[in-house]
Chains A and B, each alone.
Chain A
């Protein structure tokens, strides 16, 4: 996928990505950005300037919750965990996404080409 298109798509799906990543366990900002980078094999990349505002926005909506956590011999970090409301949103977004992808695939014939 060409980077430009990826960037455009990523905006719409960013919320879904973040919610998915913090679903299993709380993660801090750098970890989230690293996971997106690694798991998408470099196709998706968030720099700090857009990632953190996005985290704050989700937090503001009550979907995730950030909390400073101190660990021995480490700098404290802010960990984000998903809230109950966030889980519900994630379920909806996932199913919408899957429906959307399936529809796009059917039309563009990617699957059965």
Chain B
């Protein structure tokens, strides 16, 4: 009987039917041909002619043409028990269970992989949560992208991003088409008296729209009404959540109670929710309550307010921002006096987004940190990929057998993919937990003042980010192992599984490449943090122009009602200075308004007698400060010419002023300014001395602006700083300062903000120090990970080469030669990584050169040092496996084979 089967199979082959389907069709056709054949034979036909007749009925072309027209995908037959999976997702539950079993069978491997991923995810989640809380979702602000901060510039006077005047604010407030809401505020200090000692509260005077502009609502009670924002009506107060908790024990019936601020009664109208802290560190809000005429044109250049404005619906932020230049042109274009002044001083108004204005200075450091944690995650992924590849080598035989038994490579690759996903998911979960811990303790590690009032939290955005990062990681580290399996040939798997010596050569190469990449990235982080560390150290060594060591400072705030007159203030500050100096352990002491690195900094324009400025000329400008006589001595600021203030310089005596060397150089180049008269019309003061220049608020930026010092008795405010130099521990003098203030006025003066001058200067570097600390930590993680990765590859390679090493030793290789063989293999990888890392580092350093103050972007010492650290650490990681190689007993190694 003819063999129909083979012939039919040949004819059906071009259709590429699913195997079961093909079998069924073939069987049917085969029977048909056979029935036909038997019938013809029975009818007396020769077997040859019967055969060809039966086959003619199965015309090849017709069969193919007709079958192609039938959609054969539909399979009515039940799927046989042994069949290949129908789709990518069938049998996924089985794979999942299998993968879990595999992972749990290797708890050590799984734990290391999960922890590695967790570390990378935790670092990324923490840094991203900061970015999220500051830039994407600042707490207490609805739709932060559309809330703008209005600022002014006097380009000619070297003043940028200063506040606004009430006139400026009114311009914005009244532009209803562009801004739906605008509000202004001014910081204010209140002495809250509940017990015997007055307590100073950081308050904010706000226009009634303030809370609405942020989209904030009161937690208890309400915020201010328009009627309350008028002179005489402004005796209401809104409490911050923290103040409500701290001072009033979270009293739920606080609303409508009265509290005493600055000796006056204020009615509590509301409590804000915990997340509303604008401005940051504000403890209470009271209505601004200025008369409507204060918003008139006369106040154009009195910038003592901050203003925010919310962009109106239908207006884009860019349109609102460009609208500010229309206001500017409107002011500078008016031919009047203020128009001329605005024009001459290059005055302008502009608007920044709220987050940019508040946190703009943190953007670059945060982006650098974000970039570095991305590197850390990459390194972690490379490490896990290396681990998985090593494991895949160990599993080669298992995979080969499964392939031989009919498992498809795609299926095996999927299996490995599922394992990667399980590892990534567990790692991400642990990483998020670690990040929650880190974020909860962020207050302890973040620089003081930089993110106060911001509650970092792991919200939905952060979670999504972390999960996304986890998935990307799974893809990154799962790809190489899955790929090597998917592309491997069965016989190769079997071969590799059978013979240990040659196992996974391709995989070893990928692992080596991964380690080289890790070493490179680690060097980038090391070099980067090294450069930033060096920059920070250099900045800390910058001489601020005064000696901050051994100086304690504090702020003092007076009740403005009790200290209405200049005479009263003069008396208070003079006797405070004397009382402080008399305290035990105090070398010298002074009271100062406008202390460097304090919040009270300001400047003003002035005139020089005999040098009239042209019409509209803004004239000379400088910072101002007011000090008691011992100030320069206390801070060791050198007197360069003339004399110091003395107790004889009083409110009613001749007005005097001391200028710093910058101002002297600027306006009296090559001359002696002593004796010149400067100041405001009718209030001219005689220059009596010149002192050294001091940094005002930053060690890194110095705009070179001059400074005028007035005697405290002739220019005083209701807030001031106290500076005390001591030979001992400055912190210990703190209590003496409190006692001195109490001794002078026990009821109307509050002492607060005690800290050493060193701490104040250091705080200005807080964000930078924080960034450097974090960078160093990330670099350390990177270094550790790279070393671990190298260790893994080398140990594996040594284990694989045991037999080879044994042969070499049997043939007379010396111990040192074996050691060297292993070390040089590792050295090659490290050096390749170093080369790559150096190139990337140099490029990145060039890009960040504006941040790398006081240090060259290719500081050779830093680069050489970091390369050395990297090489030493990574080679140390190689030492253990190298020792193991050297201890190989030739006999054992050969017998093992």
Contact = CB atoms under 8 A, between A and B. Distances in A.
Interface of A: 28-30, 33, 47-54, 56-57, 59-60, 65-66, 68, 75, 77-78
Given A30-B35, A52-B32, A66-B76, A57 B57 contact: no
Contact of B71 (A33, A60, A75): A60
A88 B77 CA distance: 24
Contact of B62 (A28, A33, A49, A57): A49
B66 interface: yes
A50 B31 contact: no
Contacts of B70: 53, 56-57, 60
B550 to A, nearest CB: 95
The 5 closest A-B pairs by CB, nearest first: A53-B66, A47-B57, A49-B63, A49-B62, A30-B35
Contacts of A66: 76
A62 to B, nearest CB: 10
B602 to A, nearest CB: 88
Contacts of A47: 56-59, 62
A110 B616 CA distance: 117
B609 interface: no
A52 B28 CA distance: 8
Contacts of B59: 47, 49
Given A47-B57, A48-B57, A30 B66 contact: no
Contacts of B74: 60
Given A48-B29, A48-B33, A75-B31, A53 B63 contact: yes
B36 interface: yes
Given A48-B36, A53-B67, A54-B66, 8 more contacts: A29-B31, A29-B32, A30-B32, A48-B29, A52-B28, A60-B74, A75-B31, A78-B28
Interface in B49-63: 56-60, 62-63
A65 B31 contact: no
A50 B66 contact: yes
A110 B180 CA distance: 91
A59 B62 contact: no
B36 to A, nearest CB: 7
Interface residues of B, number: 26
Contacts of A49: 57-60, 62-63, 66
Interface in B15-33: 24-25, 27-29, 31-33
B69 interface: yes
B78 to A, nearest CB: 10
20 contacts: A28-B31, A29-B31, A30-B32, A33-B32, A47-B56, A48-B29, A48-B32, A48-B57, A48-B58, A49-B57, A49-B58, A49-B66, A52-B32, A53-B67, A53-B70, A54-B66, A57-B70, A68-B77, A75-B31, A78-B27
Contacts of A28: 31
A75 B63 CA distance: 23
Contacts of B72: 56
B62 A30 contact: no
Contacts of B66: 49-50, 52-54
Contacts of B31: 28-30, 75, 77
Interface string B338-356: 0000000000000000000
Contacts of B60: 49
A82 to B, nearest CB: 15
Contacts of B58: 47-49
Contacts of B62: 47, 49-50
A86 B60 CA distance: 29
Contacts of B24: 68, 78
Most chain B C-beta atoms within 10 Å of own C-beta, residue among A47, A65, A77: A47
A56 B12 CA distance: 15
A77 B24 CA distance: 10
A78 B76 CA distance: 12
Nearest to B61: A49
A110 to B, nearest CB: 32
Contacts of B67: 52-53, 56
A75 to B, nearest CB: 6
A54 B62 CA distance: 12
Nearest to A76: B27
A53 B32 CA distance: 13
A52 B25 contact: yes
Nearest to A45: B57
Contacts of A30: 31-32, 35-36
Nearest to A30: B35
A53 to B, nearest CB: 3
Contacts of B76: 59, 65-66
A29 B34 CA distance: 12
B57 A29 contact: no
Nearest to B8: A48
A52 B152 CA distance: 87
Contacts of A56: 25, 67, 70, 72
Contacts of A60: 70-71, 74
Contacts of B35: 30
Contacts of B63: 48-49, 53
A29 B77 CA distance: 17
Nearest to A67: B76
Contacts of A68: 24, 77
Interface in B74-105: 74, 76-77
Contacts of A54: 66
A75 B36 CA distance: 15
Contacts of A48: 29, 32-33, 36, 57-58, 63
B241 to A, nearest CB: 69
Nearest to A53: B66
A19 B202 CA distance: 94
B71 to A, nearest CB: 6
A109 B71 CA distance: 42
B539 to A, nearest CB: 79
Most chain B C-beta atoms within 10 Å of own C-beta, residue among A49, A51, A54, A68: A49
A50 to B, nearest CB: 5
B56 A53 contact: no
A60 B27 CA distance: 19
A24 to B, nearest CB: 21
B36 A57 contact: no
A20 to B, nearest CB: 20
A104 to B, nearest CB: 27
Interface string B42-54: 0000000000000
A44 to B, nearest CB: 14
A48 B70 CA distance: 15
Most chain A C-beta atoms within 10 Å of own C-beta, residue among B27, B36, B70, B72: B70
Contacts of A75: 31
Most chain A C-beta atoms within 10 Å of own C-beta, residue among B32, B59, B62, B76: B32
B26 to A, nearest CB: 11
B760 to A, nearest CB: 85
A60 to B, nearest CB: 5
A82 B298 CA distance: 99
Contacts of A59: 76
Given A48-B33, A48-B57, A53 B69 contact: yes
A66 B75 CA distance: 11
A66 B21 CA distance: 13
Interface string B470-501: 00000000000000000000000000000000
A52 B35 CA distance: 15
A78 B35 CA distance: 13
A60 B32 CA distance: 21
Most chain B C-beta atoms within 10 Å of own C-beta, residue among A48, A68, A75, A78: A48
Contacts of B56: 47
A33 B35 CA distance: 11
A54 B63 CA distance: 11
Contacts of A51: 32
Contacts of A33: 32
Nearest to A77: B31
Interface in B545-587: none
B29 A52 contact: yes
A51 to B, nearest CB: 8
